[in-house]
Amino acid sequence: MTKAELHKLIDELPDSAVEGAGVLLRGIIKGPIDPDQAWFWTPEWQEREQEAEAELARGAGVVYRSTEDFISHLESVPPAVSD
């Protein structure tokens, strides 16, 4: 993406998204947001993060304490059957 394309996107932002975009851009420019990790701070990703946190808070999710435990679980799940 070029700076010109980015400026066009900014011009097309709805007013309600300008503040969030500003926070994201300032974080990339001044830190602490690593530009390669900026996707994490998008509103869509943050919404998913909040959903995951809420799921864990209600006890609906599963937390694996080690990579080995996670892989063991994955290996125990039967493969999906495709049509």
Give the residue among 9, 38, 37 at the shortest CA–CA distance from 23.
Answer: 38
Q: By three-state DSSP, how is residue 48 classified?
A: helix
**Please, what are the averages of pLDDT over each run of 10 residues along the chain (83 residues)?**
89 87 82 79 88 90 91 93 77
The rounded percent of the chain whose pLDDT value lies above 70 is: 99
CB-CB neighbours of 79 under 10 Å: 5
**Model confidence over 15-35: pLDDT tens digits?**
888 888 888 888 788 877 777
Token pair, residue 42, equals 């998008």
